[in-house]
Amino acid sequence: MTQTPLDHLWSVIQSRKQELPEESYTASLFRKGENEILKKIGEEAIEILIAAKGEGDDRVIYESADLVYHLMVLLAARGLQWQDVEAELARRFRE
């Protein structure tokens, strides 16, 4: 089965969490801790709002990708799984 881009990203994030390579931005977020990750999520959310109010769809997509990435880093930092989010979304569609 072929990995989706989100599955691949999740695998990379998990690898960075375990190996903590010095040159990795993701690993640097893990080293800095949850407060820094939360700060980045807040920044990305604001950037999406700004983009949606006047920077065009390409910018909204770009900032959305940044937000999803940082959200995945937060989940990994807390020992949660991306599949937990997918399961929650699936549960909501069944209701």
Instruction: Give the rounded percent of residues in the chain with a pLDDT score beyond 90.
Output: 93
What is the rounded average pLDDT for all residues in the chain?
A: 95
Q: What is the pLDDT of residue 3?
A: 85
Residues 32-78 have pLDDT tens digits of: 999 999 999 999 999 999 999 999 999 999 999 999 999 999 999 99
Contacting residues for 75 by C-beta, under 8 A, at least 6 apart: 81, 82, 84, 85
- Mention the CATH class of domain 5-94: mainly alpha
Confidence of residue 15 (pLDDT cuts 50, 70, 90): very high
Q: Where are the domains of the chain?
A: 5-94
Contacting residues for 13 by C-beta, under 8 A, at least 6 apart: 26, 72, 73, 76
The overall pTM is greater than 0.85: yes
How many residues would you count in the chain? 95
Q: What is the pLDDT of residue 9?
A: 96
Confidence of residue 94 (pLDDT cuts 50, 70, 90): confident
